[in-house]
Structure 1
């Protein structure tokens, strides 16, 4: 059978299985086994266990549960509240300062936790009621946190970038470096929209700001000693990674240990029951991600075995002689995929197909990784999956999902703008990793 016809069958069958509600890892495994049996015969069952195990047989994968543990320890402490409070007190005079404070808190918390849902839940629980109380509209209050939470998949250490590195064989350290400047550029674009909204749209919030009692200098400084240790840990983890002092697995392990020490020292969280709850939640999320990675490895093997990956890559290249037209089609495909599937699933299912196309066209693979990730960020705040939308809905049950979506829309446009900026100035992504690690071989 023609490989492109097989690709169509694979796509339809996979979508039917995933839309049935079955967990992604089980769905990918079932699809892979069924396709191998149908097209290659029952003898392919002999390679199932070996291929599934090979998807997890990597020392680098140890960094995923360690970074998740690190993030969950922060998320289950008052660190998010302190970040938010500190930024709010320092930015209180700025128009839209409370919105910007929430965006800043999301950026820093994203770097601490590496998780978009954790960032949304931790900052949103405090930030949304406060913004609403001070006169900000429901749209801007909920949309800010929904969009700010997405920064967790871009600003390192990011679980999504680790999974991308594993799926594509690219350097995780270089991916982390590539994500720093675009991550904070995107946070700045969010802040720009907050200023525009406050100056030209939300006059009521500006009026309430003038009546607010200014925080004292003592109030501004009292929260800083509780924030700085966690920022120091993040800086230390990034330094040892980029300085070649430690591997991602070693850095994440030490980082997780130090975060546990800090929450015990700073917030007195050392009771065995609380520690076990953090470990339990981290273990559950880690197993889920690892299972998806193993299943995706089997899925990628199936696509390669049936010559689907190679045929699709060649067909996309032959479809248009203009590399930017192909790139546009890839972006549209990623956006649509992000509407229905979580970032990890999209990465493990599509990166093996898309990366050969991108590199053949002459695009930098690390630049594409960041563009890919921003597309996944948009998927986090768009229905029907839109994980962040539902987290915000859980925090504010009295606000309709359509209101949250309307509040998120301007931030989506900022994400699209950031992709355009990165296309015009790819050095925003490549400059820092090239400066610190040198240019990768072949580019």
Structure 2
């Protein structure tokens, strides 16, 4: 059978299996095993365990559970509420300060936790009721938090970027730096839209209900927040300074986050600490299981010459490089509607990266564009994980209202991709400045 035709059958089978509700990793293993057994013979299945475990035989993977523990330790405390409270106190005199506080808290908490759902939950529990109390539209209140939560997979340290680096053999440090300015760009676009939507809705109650905080009240909350921010800055400084690898850097960062959670928030009970370790283990195993299964899936595609044929076919298309990038973005956008970011990256990035670099695009710039597409998926149906998190913490706001309120932020993300296409230096300038130009374009 022609490899392209076979690839179409593989794609259809994969979608049907995953849509059936089977876990992503299990679905990838079932699909890969079935097609290898059919076209290469049952004897070829002996190779699959080796491919699965060899995919996990990577020192860089040690950074994933460590960063997950960092996020879990922070998410298990009141750090999100305190971060929100600190920004709200300092920005209370700024017009639209509450919206800016919420989005700023989302950006900072996303950097600390690296988790989009955790960011939505931690900041949304405080921010959404307060914005509604002050008369902000429900769509702005819910949509801004849902969109702000997506920043967790872009702003460093990001587990998603680590997975991309491992899947494509690119520098994780450069990937982290590449996400900084685009992350700030998204925060700025979110703030601009939120302020405009608030003004357009005629919201005028904020000034009437705004509380004026004393200087002592402003400084009172900072000692509970600044230590966690200091850890993140220290981790990034050590990483970019060439002192240690991501895996070596993440380990002390995770330990310090757990210790600060214990000391600052008095998380002394064994049950609380066990909960952090349990949740971290569950999430880490899920990610690593997907990574191993994706390795088997990629081996199947390569063994049946599907990957090579798709790459050759795309490369032979008589279209411009930007038309090609438009097609790739459309594919990533649709994939992000149905699959989690880690699965999309592991399945698509190894295939797409050679095509992208051959067309003259920077691999780190592409990582940012890919991640923003995955962010759109987090606030778009049918999966749209952040939408359901917001609906869970504010059940009196209908899912339709949350979805409609999120649409403008989706457009902000699309605009960010357009801006990155026009000014790719937003993603490449900082990595080149800190770490020097990439050798050989990578």
Q: Is the partner of 1:55 in helix, strand or coil?
A: helix
1:196 aligns with 2:199: no
**Equivalences for 1:16-95 in 2 at 5 Å?**
16-95=16-95
Using the TM superposition, give the Cα deviation of residue 134 of structure 1 relative to its aligned residue in structure 2, in angstroms: 1.4
The answer to whether the Cα contact below 8 Å between 2:134 and 2:209 also exists between their aligned partners in 1 is no
How many Å separate the matches in 2 of 1:211 and 1:258? Answer: 38
1:105 aligns with 2:105: yes
How many Å separate the matches in 2 of 1:390 and 1:37? Answer: 39
1:428 aligns with 2:426: yes
1:227 aligns with 2:225: yes
What's 1:340 paired with?
A: 338
What's 1:368 paired with?
A: 366
Q: What does the per-residue CA deviation read over 1:195-214, in whole Å, with 9 as the maximum and x for residues that have no partner?
A: 21233x1323x333244231
Query: What count of residue pairs does the alignment treat as equivalent?
Result: 441
What's 2:172 paired with?
A: 172
Question: What is the TM-score when the length of structure 1 is the normalising length?
Answer: 0.98
How many Å separate the matches in 2 of 1:323 and 1:422? Answer: 15
Superposition misfits of 4+ residues, deviation over 3 angstroms: none
The answer to whether the Cα contact below 8 Å between 2:121 and 2:393 also exists between their aligned partners in 1 is yes
Q: What does the per-residue CA deviation read over 1:326-356, in whole Å, with 9 as the maximum and x for residues that have no partner?
A: 0000001111111111111111111111111
Using the TM superposition, give the Cα deviation of residue 47 of structure 1 relative to its aligned residue in structure 2, in angstroms: 0.5
The answer to whether the Cα contact below 8 Å between 1:168 and 1:352 also exists between their aligned partners in 2 is yes
How many Å separate the matches in 2 of 1:92 and 1:197? Answer: 19
The answer to whether the Cα contact below 8 Å between 1:317 and 1:326 also exists between their aligned partners in 2 is no
How many Å separate the matches in 1 of 2:40 and 2:209? Answer: 73
How many Å separate the matches in 1 of 2:137 and 2:297? Answer: 45
The answer to whether the Cα contact below 8 Å between 2:137 and 2:198 also exists between their aligned partners in 1 is no
How many Å separate the matches in 2 of 1:342 and 1:209? Answer: 40
The answer to whether the Cα contact below 8 Å between 1:95 and 1:198 also exists between their aligned partners in 2 is no
Q: What does the per-residue CA deviation read over 1:133-152, in whole Å, with 9 as the maximum and x for residues that have no partner?
A: 11111111110110000000
1:11 aligns with 2:15: no
How many Å separate the matches in 2 of 1:208 and 1:291? Answer: 47
How many Å separate the matches in 2 of 1:209 and 1:272? Answer: 45
How many Å separate the matches in 2 of 1:309 and 1:188? Answer: 38
The answer to whether the Cα contact below 8 Å between 1:67 and 1:159 also exists between their aligned partners in 2 is yes
The answer to whether the Cα contact below 8 Å between 2:134 and 2:205 also exists between their aligned partners in 1 is no
How many Å separate the matches in 1 of 2:100 and 2:307? Answer: 43
The answer to whether the Cα contact below 8 Å between 2:103 and 2:191 also exists between their aligned partners in 1 is yes
Q: Is the partner of 1:203 in helix, strand or coil?
A: coil
Q: Is the partner of 1:392 in helix, strand or coil?
A: helix
Q: Provide structure 1 residue ranges, at least 5 long, that are not aligned to the other structure.
A: none
**Equivalences for 1:97-176 in 2 at 5 Å?**
97-176=97-176
How many Å separate the matches in 1 of 2:182 and 2:268? Answer: 36
How many Å separate the matches in 2 of 1:229 and 1:286? Answer: 25
What's 2:347 paired with?
A: 349
The answer to whether the Cα contact below 8 Å between 1:320 and 1:326 also exists between their aligned partners in 2 is no
How many Å separate the matches in 2 of 1:186 and 1:308? Answer: 36
The answer to whether the Cα contact below 8 Å between 1:149 and 1:388 also exists between their aligned partners in 2 is yes
Q: Provide structure 2 residue ranges, at least 5 long, that are not aligned to the other structure.
A: none
What's 2:260 paired with?
A: 262
The answer to whether the Cα contact below 8 Å between 1:56 and 1:293 also exists between their aligned partners in 2 is yes
The answer to whether the Cα contact below 8 Å between 2:70 and 2:253 also exists between their aligned partners in 1 is yes
The answer to whether the Cα contact below 8 Å between 2:4 and 2:310 also exists between their aligned partners in 1 is yes
Query: For structure 1, which segment, 127-136 or 25-34, has the greater mean C-alpha deviation from structure 2 after superposition?
Result: 127-136
Question: What is the TM-score when the length of structure 2 is the normalising length?
Answer: 0.98
